[in-house]
Amino acid sequence: MEAMTTKQIDSIVVRFAGDSGDGMQLTGDRFTQESAVFGNDLATLPNFPAEIRAPQGTLAGVSSFQVQVAEHAVLTPGDAPDVLVAMNPAALRVNAGDVARGGTIIVDTQEFTARNLTKAGYRSNPVEDGSLADYIVHPIDMTSLTVAAVKEFGLGRKDAARAKNMFGLGLLSWMYGRPTESTEAFIRSRFANKPAIREANLAAFRAGWNYGETAEAFAVSYDVRPAPMKPGRYRNITGNTALAYGLMAAARSAGLELFLGAYPITPASDILHELSKHARFGVTTFQAEDEIAGACAAIGASYGGALGVTSTSGPGVCLKSEALGLAVSLELPLVVVDVQRGGPSTGLPTKTEQSDLLQALFGRNGEAPLPVIAPRSSADCFAAAVEAVEIAIRYRTPVMLLSDGYLANGSEPWQIPQPGDQPSIDPGFATEPNHETDDGARAFWPYKREPETLARPWAVPGTPGLEHRIGGIEKGDGHGNISYEPDNHDLMVRTRQAKVDRVTQVIGDTWVDDPDGDAELLVIGWGSTYGPVAEACTRLRKQGQSVAHAHLRALNPFPHDLGEVLRRYSRVVCPEMNLGQLSMLLRARYLVDVVGHNQVRGLPFQVAEIEDALLTHLQEVGR
Amino acid sequence: MTAEALPFPGLRGVPVAEVPATAKDYSSDQEVRWCPGCGDYVILKTIQGFLPELGLRRENIVFISGIGCSSRFPYYLDTYGMHSIHGRAPAIATGLATTRGDLSVWVVTGDGDALSIGGNHLIHAMRRNVNLKILLFNNRIYGLTKGQFSPTSEAGKVTKSSPDGSVGAPFNPVALALGADATFVARAIDSDRAGLTEVLRAAAAHRGTALVEIYQNCPIFNDGAFEVLKNPAESARRLVRLRDGATYNIDGRAYVHDVRSASAESSWALSRLDDGSMERVPVGIFRCVERPTFDDQVRENRARAEKGDDAAFLSLLAGPDPWTVA
Ligand code: SF4
């Protein structure tokens, strides 16, 4: 055996790609988990087709999972993979172009048959024809090596070959010195009831590791040391899971039952799945007959004193719009989760986009304002959900929580909250009459407001003496009876707006990162662009450039000082995965000449792309 | 004391009043704004008169409506109430009833609200068997929007939106409810206070979704739609008052009416008795069978789940593979 060398590197980007049925998401997830346990910082990008099983071996059926692991803080899954594992020609064809020049490509040669090459649109075998000369290519017959390794467990060839993803994982785990215990434990528990398959997967995993150790081709392994992180307990978490946990944590803090009304829709269904597991924590999930019923049932639950939540993606928000208008008019707490995906219409169900911002703000009839909050990373979905619940309860209003497909499925380390981390939330149910009539009688006025927040009382059925009627029809100020009075309507419209504007009371100042203090250029983003924008800024600053970064968590209302922040800079650039929705809002509201940098490719921004764009702006502003 | 003592399984879990209420206690301070002579008035009176009979605490009764003339109903009852959006009342009521087993939840809807724009929610409420009492005021016309044909209007109806007569067959709400496997289905007539009260009583007693179709006259846009069932000279031969166990001849076949029959044979045959000509129109209870209710089952599942304390919640948050950074 060759003497082994280990090279120190500070980060690595790995992409696993294969057919939808090849288990690439699982493989990527395990590699991620091994790295997390090892102590690296990381961020992931799963990317899969909308079709559950597109025809085997086709370009349409390629599924991939990318992860960046580093010894320093990372905010994105990385622009270009340093290593691509391609399980078939289609996976190679779809992904090879993204690999960094000089990067490593590992392919399963068994799958590179004439038929598969044709399916992928190759005229000749790229592994042999020199077209991958810019890369270090490792052609390995992973299928045969796997089948040989698991022979003793008596599986058919097909089942045996299925373990090849574990071979690939084992090989990569060796290359990067990942700890293997968590994956072995995972395989044991996942296949606890299928001993042959369990043993085969373990054997394939170890065979992959041993192959790396013995094959001469892999003379070097790499070491990415743990990243310095704040002391504490961590786990790796996806955005959808973090969001579900945030809703649960906030409902617990408020002592409320959590009721989710939802209709299955990509990429939001995992929130429904997650919450469905937690009846013991006071969660009720209702899989409704349609999107409308999901929202309406949640409104009914909130009316009864539970925390009503409805989760969906953009097309579902369209259907819920009328119900959301009702919630605005009823002034009841409600959280609406929109995990944005590519649109319009069915669009790109499994891909990410930020194009529902204007819909969230304005997609209802009439003047129907509601607060809008957007998490900035997968782990931040937890805190953003808590914040949305707090606002919904404090201001008696529906709140839109705008996540997206990238945050939903991507993952990163998350510091696990400790007991007492959550602020307690007071639902403040009304218990007695709140008004004295002219004749001195005590009465209950459902639309008499709390002066500071303008919130109305939350009086739930079952409370004696507070019987009242509410509805979507315009109500008289205070007493809440039907009113068609012109002045009253004007007052009510303005009051509902003023109430939402007062949410600035709890959202604080604009978050601005301007370490040099002399920047002329401000880049402003919202939602999931935080990662690539922040990394691009870090890179530019390392090159001696001054650039300020502002990030909005509240999209409605905007922080009170936002106009002042924008006016401090001579140029404001706003990167968005849409055609300029936030730019439009900022321009309209603050009369600042915000320049958009827009992309709608269904994928998150690459750091280099933003870095380049900002460099151009920096040159133009002369710094 | 709880409602367990009442003879109404449908109200199990709803607290009872210490002091008996009267019809007056149930009327709100709001001015009733239906057109003069509207059938809704007598239905309102009947319900205000009937509710005290339940012996419940007023604050534990909720009426939820959609949009339409009938949907103004909740404003006139001094209970909790919500006037919601078109067709969605069953969905809102489902969320409320599922989270609050201590409430008696009623839905007031019309033929357009329940059978056109809200059809999906109606059939799913009945399929699930949520413990809701759905009162469907059927006037066979759109009243609030000023007189377009509705999904229960007879074919060929001449209205503002169908000057040449409407095209398409009407829904038979009772047959539709039976088709959706509703556990309780009945029909009554607005002006028949005794008959309506009897049906309401049985609906309240039933645990599960009760669909009560109420023929309601709209004197403005569809006056006299049910006149032949009201005028004593005609109604005697046309009205078929349903009695459990009684025999009815339909198409030369004798059916012994069995409201609890699983096959719903007599229920189905009786639902089809009126071919639209109103020659023979059954009123009363078509079906009343027991099936576990959706909301009870959801609550039971939750109650059965071993309660998770703070420690359990924190361990959920930590997941299977946490790590510590010192
Ligand atoms: S339009 Fe018809 S149904 Fe509506 S209130 Fe007037 S009479 Fe009653």
Q: What amino acid occupies position A153?
A: F
pLDDT at site A3? 46
Cβ-based neighbours of A533, under 8 Å, separated by 6 or more = A523, A525, A549, A551, A575, A605, A610
Q: Give me the residue from A284, A289, A471 closest to B84, CB to CB.
A: A471
pLDDT at A309 over 70: yes
pLDDT at site A421? 83
pLDDT at A593 over 70: yes
pLDDT at site A608? 96
pLDDT at A57 over 50: yes
- Percent residues over pLDDT 90 in chain A: 93
Give which of A186, A237, A280, A422 to mutate to test B binding, by max B Cβ within 10 Å.
A280
Cβ–Cβ gap A322/B85 under 8 Å = yes
Cα separation of A365 and A367, whole Å? 7
The DSSP line for A558-573 is PPTTHHHHHHTSSEEE
Cβ-based neighbours of A493, under 8 Å, separated by 6 or more = A366, A367
> DSSP 3-state assignment of A306?
coil
In 3D, which of B123, B57, B62, B113 has the Cα closest to residue B88?
B113
Distance from CA of A9 to the nearest CA of B (A): 21
Distance from CA of A81 to the nearest CA of B (A): 26
CB B157 within 8 A of CB B170: no
Q: What amino acid occupies position A334?
A: L
Residue A566: both structure tokens together: 């924008």
> A157-176: per-residue pLDDT in tens?
999 999 999 999 999 999 99
Give the bridge partners for B85, in sequence order: none
CB A381 within 8 A of CB A402: no
Strands B132-138 and A62-70, bridge-based pairing: unpaired
Cα separation of B107 and A275, whole Å? 29
Cα separation of A144 and A164, whole Å? 9
Distance from CA of B66 to the nearest CA of A (A): 9
The stretch A443-467 carries a mean pLDDT of 98
Superfamily of domain A5-223 in CATH is: Pyruvate-ferredoxin oxidoreductase, PFOR, domain III (3.40.920.10)
Q: Give me the residue from B97, B312, B317 closest to A416, CB to CB.
A: B317
Produce one character per residue of B209-241: b if its CB has 16 or more CB atoms within 10 Å, e if not: bbbbbbbbbbbbbbeebbebbbeeeebeebbbe
CB A475 within 8 A of CB A483: yes
DSSP state of A584: H
Give which of B88, B103, B104 to mutate to test A binding, by max A Cβ within 10 Å.
B88
Give the bridge partners for B248, in sequence order: B255
Domain A235-415: which topology? Rossmann fold (3.40.50)
Q: Which has the higher per-residue pLDDT, A220 or A108?
A: A108
Q: Where are chain A's structural domains?
A: 5-223, 235-415, 428-507, 508-620
> A333-384: per-residue pLDDT in tens?
999 999 999 999 999 999 999 999 999 999 999 999 999 999 999 999 999 9
Give all domains of chain B, ordered by start, each with its CATH number.
Answer: 3-293 (3.40.50.970)
Cβ–Cβ gap B326/A468 under 8 Å = no
CB A300 within 8 A of CB B90: no
> A205-257: per-residue pLDDT in tens?
999 999 999 987 787 889 999 999 999 999 999 999 999 999 999 999 999 99
pLDDT, averaged across chain A: 95
Q: Residue A623: pLDDT band by 50, 70, 90 thresholds?
A: low
CA A72, A76, A78, A84: dihedral to nearest 10 degrees?
100
Instruction: Give me the residue label for tokens 């936002």.
Output: A562
Q: Residue A622: pLDDT band by 50, 70, 90 thresholds?
A: confident
Q: Could you say which residues of chain B have pLDDT below 70?
A: 1-7
Distance from CA of B171 to the nearest CA of A (A): 21
Alpha helices (H) along A255-313: 269-276, 291-303
Cα separation of A208 and A82, whole Å? 19
Instruction: Answer yes or no: same fold for A5-223 and A235-415.
Output: no
pLDDT at site A361? 98
pLDDT at site B6? 57
> A62-105: per-residue pLDDT in tens?
999 999 999 999 999 999 999 999 999 999 999 999 999 999 99
CB B11 within 8 A of CB B54: yes
Residue B311: both structure tokens together: 């420690």
Give the bridge partners for B186, in sequence order: B212, B285
Q: What amino acid occupies position A458?
A: W
Instruction: Give me the residue label for tokens 């007879």.
Output: B154
Instruction: Give me the residue label for tokens 């467990």.
Output: A153
Assembly ipTM: 0.97
CA distance between the termini of chain B: 58
CB A287 within 8 A of CB A428: no
> DSSP 3-state assignment of A26?
helix
Residue A69: both structure tokens together: 């692991």
Residue of chain A whose alpha carbon sits nearest to that of B315 = A416
Q: Give me the residue from A232, A284, A296 closest to B91, CB to CB.
A: A296
Residues in B closer than 8 angstroms to A226, CB to CB, are: 325
* CB of B219 closer than 6 angstroms to any ligand 1 atom: yes
Cβ–Cβ gap B92/A235 under 8 Å = no
- Classify domain A508-620 by CATH architecture: 3-Layer(aba) Sandwich (3.40)
For ligand 1, atom 8: residue with the closest CA:
B38
Cα A590 off chain centre by: 29
Q: How far is CA A244 from CA A157, A258, A283, A310, A378, in A?
A: 40, 11, 11, 11, 12
pLDDT at A1 over 80: no
Instruction: Give me the residue label for tokens 């000089």.
Output: A102
> A499-536: per-residue pLDDT in tens?
999 999 999 999 999 999 999 999 999 999 999 999 99
Which of B31, B32, B34 has most ligand 1 atoms within 8 Å of CB, for mutation? B34
pLDDT at site A4? 64
Cα separation of A583 and A524, whole Å? 9
Cβ–Cβ gap B121/A298 under 8 Å = no
* CB of B69 closer than 6 angstroms to any ligand 1 atom: yes
CB atoms within 10 A of CB B176: 22
CB atoms within 10 A of CB A450: 15
> Which region, left, alpha or beta, applies to residue A465 given φ > 0 means left and ψ of -120 to 50 means alpha?
left
* CB of B137 closer than 6 angstroms to any ligand 1 atom: no
